[in-house]
Amino acid sequence: MNHNNTCHAFEADILQDHDAVELANLLKAKEITQEEVVLAAIKRAQKINPHLNAVELDCYDQALKQSRFSPGPGYFSGVPTFIKDNTPVLGMPTNHGSAAINSAPAEAHGPYAKQYLDQGFALLGKSTLPEFGFNATTEPAHKEPTRNPWNTDYSTGASSGGAAALVASGVVPIAHANDGGGSIRIPAACCGLIGLKPSRGRHVLSDQSKSLPINIISEGIVSRSVRDTAYFHAEAEKYYRNKKLPPIGLVEGPGKKRLRIGYVADSITGHPTDDDTRKTLEATVTLLDNLGHNVETMPLPIQPSFIEDFSLYWAMLAFLTQKTGKLIMDPSFNASKLDDLSIGLGDMYKKKFYKTPLFLYRLKKTYADYAQAFANFDAVLTPVLAQTPVKLGHISPTVPFEELFDRLMRYVSFTPLANTSGAPAISLPMSATENNLPISMQFAANHGRERVLLELAYEIEEAQPWRKIHNL
């Protein structure tokens, strides 16, 4: 299980290292049973979670009972999974990773849980996240952090950090994630997974996203194969199809068209990427060039004000949570139990609230600015993070706010644009550090063009297969 601080649950059981599609096919062919699969996943979770702290709440007994019945409809019927603990699920509390909430079990599935579970997944429980998803590491102030399976001294990223740890360590092949500033792509990057943030409105909207002045939240998954991500989104379209977006359909392999790909090495913050990240970007450019794509540098398609604008929007959400948590989150909400990051962000907004109309106007404008940039490009390549995954504690909410905020600005600078513009973007694992941590690159496309990203991801996966933690 352990090698140089790696920690995984892969073994020669019924799950092996199958992806979700392979498990679904084996279940349909009745070569394995749903009960066998669920039991194996539970055993893996029980073995590994004491080391990783990725499970917020389990429902193992219920999952086992349900597994003894005939598999229901849905392509992924019987495939084990977890749902992130900011999404209401019938019979389970939703505490948003915060000590400030102690919610009662939900009386019904939330809108997105319905769409997700309609695909037939066997739910094993809820995965961890940082308080309200505000941080880029899954280190709640009130309990143990979620640890990175590749090196347990390091962060999983966030906010879907528990989901990423459970998939990367082999507990389940696929897990729910959502993304308001990078929360699918960042943990996917830190844990060596595929993380696609789909276009705004691609899936059913959560109640939370409906209330936002600018909906920056997209729902999705993290997975170990491009195939799982492609099949998941194709199946999700069968439940809900946004007619304002071109359909993705089922993507089953690389595209034939050679793409014009722009790349950006350094973020708009002015902080250069670290050496390992830059070398990985350069190696990715070389790989794309060898595959026949036309790759060239390009300017970032955003205004210099974007970083401050997004930071203030982020701070505004923390402020609104602080002031209206009982109404928008849960009646049990207790603001006195918020962590220092949430409080610091709220205080930052109070000092600059007068800028609200201006930053909202400029953020809404990023949709058009972003679309214009794709007049000349099919995709844009950037790092996911400006630095390789950080050690636990580096961006913990216990770090003094001013120092923490500066560290976050240096770390997370490439992902938020896709959220405000509403465009799709995918994280792909491209290399590794000397201490075994994944280094990932981000590919973004124009609105509704997830198919371009999935075809490109298939091609890269074929040309340079992803590392496997259990083969180290």
Q: Where does the pLDDT of residue 268 fall: very low under 50, low under 70, confident under 90, or very high at 90 and above?
A: confident
Q: Quick one: pLDDT at residue 375?
A: 86
Residue 464 in this model has a pLDDT that exceeds 60: yes
- Find out whether 144 and 53 touch, Cβ atoms under 8 Å: yes
- Name the one residue in this structure whose structure tokens are 């600078």: 413
Rounded to whole angstroms, what are the CA distances from 453 to 248, 277, 346, 447, 460?
10, 21, 36, 11, 10
Active site residues: 84, 159, 183
Q: Each residue of 30-46: pLDDT tens digit?
A: 999 999 999 999 999 99
pLDDT (mean) for 221-233: 98
pLDDT above 70 covers a percentage of the chain that reads: 99
Task: Give the closest residue to 150 by CA, choosing from 295, 50, 4.
Answer: 4
Q: Where does the pLDDT of residue 301 fall: very low under 50, low under 70, confident under 90, or very high at 90 and above?
A: confident
Q: Each residue of 400-439: pLDDT tens digit?
A: 999 999 999 999 999 999 999 999 999 999 999 999 999 9
Task: Give the closest residue to 400 by CA, choosing from 343, 334, 322.
Answer: 343
Strands 218-223 and 174-179: what pairing?
antiparallel
Q: Rounding to the nearest 10 degrees, give the CA dihedral for residues 12, 15, 20, 24.
A: 130
Which two three-digit tokens encode residue 46? 């029980």
Q: Quick one: pLDDT at residue 72?
A: 80
Contacts for 8 with CB less than 8 Å, ≥ 6 apart = 1, 48, 149, 168, 169, 170, 469, 470
Q: Where does the pLDDT of residue 208 fall: very low under 50, low under 70, confident under 90, or very high at 90 and above?
A: confident
What span, in angstroms and rounded, lies between the C-alpha atoms of 357 and 192? 39
What span, in angstroms and rounded, lies between the C-alpha atoms of 422 and 417? 8
Name the domain count of the chain: 1
Which two three-digit tokens encode residue 272? 């250069």
HSE, side-chain direction, 13 A CA sphere, residue 101 = 25
What span, in angstroms and rounded, lies between the C-alpha atoms of 468 and 19? 12
Q: Where does the pLDDT of residue 302 fall: very low under 50, low under 70, confident under 90, or very high at 90 and above?
A: confident
Residue 399 in this model has a pLDDT that exceeds 80: yes
301 versus 468: the higher-pLDDT residue is: 468
Q: Rounding to the nearest 10 degrees, give the CA dihedral for residues 202, 204, 206, 209.
A: 30
- Name the one residue in this structure whose structure tokens are 């597994």: 67
Q: Where does the pLDDT of residue 3 fall: very low under 50, low under 70, confident under 90, or very high at 90 and above?
A: low
pLDDT (mean) for 305-318: 96
Q: Quick one: pLDDT at residue 207?
A: 78
Task: Give the closest residue to 117 by CA, choosing from 160, 159, 73.
Answer: 73
Beta strands in 298-422 (DSSP E): 379-383
Q: Quick one: pLDDT at residue 405?
A: 97
pLDDT (mean) for 193-220: 93
Contacts for 54 with CB less than 8 Å, ≥ 6 apart = 48, 127, 128, 146, 147, 156, 161, 162, 163, 165, 166, 169, 171
Q: Each residue of 44-56: pLDDT tens digit?
A: 999 999 999 999 9
DSSP state of 58: E
Q: Each residue of 327-348: pLDDT tens digit?
A: 889 999 999 999 999 999 999 9
What span, in angstroms and rounded, lies between the C-alpha atoms of 69 and 24? 16
Q: Quick one: pLDDT at residue 293?
A: 98
Residue 1 in this model has a pLDDT that exceeds 60: no
Mean pLDDT of the chain: 96
Domain extent, residue 147, equals 2-471
Q: Where does the pLDDT of residue 70 fall: very low under 50, low under 70, confident under 90, or very high at 90 and above?
A: confident
Task: Give the closest residue to 45 by CA, choosing from 201, 229, 233, 175.
Answer: 175
- Find out whether 167 and 173 touch, Cβ atoms under 8 Å: yes
Query: How many degrees, rounded to 5, is the angle at CA 54 between CA 405 and CA 453?
Result: 70
Query: How many degrees, rounded to 5, is the angle at CA 203 between CA 467 and CA 232?
Result: 35
Q: Quick one: pLDDT at residue 304?
A: 84
Which two three-digit tokens encode residue 293? 């794509």
Residue 395 in this model has a pLDDT that exceeds 80: yes
- Find out whether 170 and 15 touch, Cβ atoms under 8 Å: yes
pLDDT (mean) for 143-168: 98
Q: Each residue of 159-206: pLDDT tens digit?
A: 999 999 999 999 999 999 999 999 999 999 999 999 999 999 999 998
Domain with residue 291: its CATH number is 3.90.1300.10
